[in-house]
Structure 1
């Protein structure tokens, strides 16, 4: 599979993810933003030099993490980064990399992404922080620069890209970007538990060794489906990936989702493999009647169904 060329302008955040606002006073606010995910379409092993690496194809969602820096404002006990150690690490890494010093000011933060649920909230916070720093200093961090910072901090995914990609989460390395950009409509639930993603890596790699053949077959099918721009095949691969992932962090409702998939006309099932989200994928947006039926179904299971559009 070809590797990505980070010099390609398509894979830089040049589409204005950073913003500085001048309020008509001496106060200036610089901001950065990053989308999150609704779990993954695919998670499984990618074999590199004989060793299995954790790979994934994220399911991007139009929900965002925002980081703001108010220039000149004095920091106080409510500083948003006081408990965000990974964002603090990203700032230190960025300043050292560029030989910069942070001007006086205060950070603030807002996010639509739930923590510990599989929405890439931590990674989105870091990327939003990097993009806010870009806005502060008038720079643009390329994909390789962002990957280097993430690599120094955590295992994560490819939310800094605006394209689907097969990504190695521990190495912070892109294996292949896909030209196709399918949009799915998701109806999902949060099963409620909070997952520590960092603690799942060893379990994932052990499972990969036990079930390498079906994992590799599904990954090959998923890559082929993206190359062919076949949303139905992609959704089918997501369903297989959800089933394979049951041995690591099982979803309590996956069985009933599988049983009722045809009844509700869903094209596939997705999960946050290291989170608590699970739901249906639809190629075509469900109408009001279908949405009502889905809401009743999930309410009967004890959950509130949520509807959202995925993709870019």
Structure 2
């Protein structure tokens, strides 16, 4: 699969094309500039992508309509509760952005809010960084292109493609789009959080070592997933997600994957997904479960000791 440029892969909705960015960066005291970025429910696919003779961690994220928000109140003096005090990666992103654009941050205070749980595989760290970049865009009247965002992420962490408005096969270490997909499948997810917290940065070497051991099944599943996206075959995509979840057990095992597999047909799920470097796991449905089915699923997961959550995925 050939790589493609970010300039060719960005999705630019009509609403965003028509949006007029403010031209005066010197906002009045009290004015609030904000940036927002969606998160994920883990990945549909994670596995090796071979490029230049080496394996790279690739993924197709499962986007969810849950968000990280960063706000900047102009003119306010930063206090001890400044949101950036514990957001080291966001501080790095601000430094990178200001150096890139040769700007100086005006006086003001940062505030942060997020619906994304940390260390669970919801791309909370990446979403925070992207929300920070978009807040800076609002401050200075700039619209950062995809290649600029990816360059900032590359300097900070291994991440995913939450800043794109389309599904994509993405190399998380290189911060590179391999292929974007025209199809935008919507799934309905019923999921649980198994409770443990994962440090994504510490999993990279382990993943790459495991990829080498099972390169053939990983590669076959990735090829099948790309083909399924190109055909817009939701059932096949869900099936590939299940295979990816099973393969991922060698890396960061999910305690409940076995019982999920055993009961998939019973609860009529089209597939199983996991946060490969997180603690989320659950069922995928092409059609939204009805109240009776949702109740049965809630009882099932409650019997396992978890509270289930229901959410629609996609864009």
User: Residue 105 in 1 paired to residue 104 in 2?
Assistant: no
Correspondence for 1:247 among 220, 232, 250: 250
Structure 1 segment 162-311 matched on structure 2, within 5 A = 162-311=165-314
**TM-score of the two chains, using structure 2 as the length reference:** 0.95
Between the aligned partners of 1:236 and 1:285, the Cα distance in structure 2 is 17
**TM-score of the two chains, using structure 1 as the length reference:** 0.96
Correspondence for 2:78 among 70, 75, 82: 75
CA RMSD of aligned residues (A): 1.7
Residue 50 of structure 1, CA deviation: 1.1
Aligned CA distance change for structure 1 residues 18 and 253 (closer, same or farther; 3 Å): farther
Correspondence for 2:98 among 74, 77, 95: 95
Structure 1 segment 30-179 matched on structure 2, within 5 A = 30-179=33-182
Between the aligned partners of 1:302 and 1:218, the Cα distance in structure 2 is 32
Counterpart of 1:7?
7
Deviations 1:93-136 (A, max 9, x none): 00000000000000000000000000000000000000000000
Contact 1:56 1:166 in 2 (8 A): yes
Residue 11 of structure 1, CA deviation: 3.1
Between the aligned partners of 1:64 and 1:14, the Cα distance in structure 2 is 21
Aligned CA distance change for structure 1 residues 236 and 79 (closer, same or farther; 3 Å): same
**Secondary structure class of the residue paired with 1:45:** strand
Between the aligned partners of 2:245 and 2:44, the Cα distance in structure 1 is 8
Residue 207 of structure 1, CA deviation: 0.4
Deviations 1:117-174 (A, max 9, x none): 0000000000000000000000000000000000000000000001000000000000
Deviations 1:13-66 (A, max 9, x none): 88559988xxx9742100000000000000000000110000000000000000
Deviations 1:203-258 (A, max 9, x none): 10000000000000000000000000000000000000000000110000000000
Could you list the runs of 5+ residues in structure 2 that have no partner in the other structure? none
Contact 2:9 2:180 in 1 (8 A): no
Between the aligned partners of 1:12 and 1:158, the Cα distance in structure 2 is 15
**Secondary structure class of the residue paired with 2:235:** helix
Between the aligned partners of 2:226 and 2:63, the Cα distance in structure 1 is 17
The count of aligned residue pairs is 309
Between the aligned partners of 2:58 and 2:79, the Cα distance in structure 1 is 40
Between the aligned partners of 2:246 and 2:238, the Cα distance in structure 1 is 13
Aligned CA distance change for structure 1 residues 13 and 91 (closer, same or farther; 3 Å): farther
**Secondary structure class of the residue paired with 1:141:** coil
Could you list the runs of 5+ residues in structure 1 that have no partner in the other structure? none
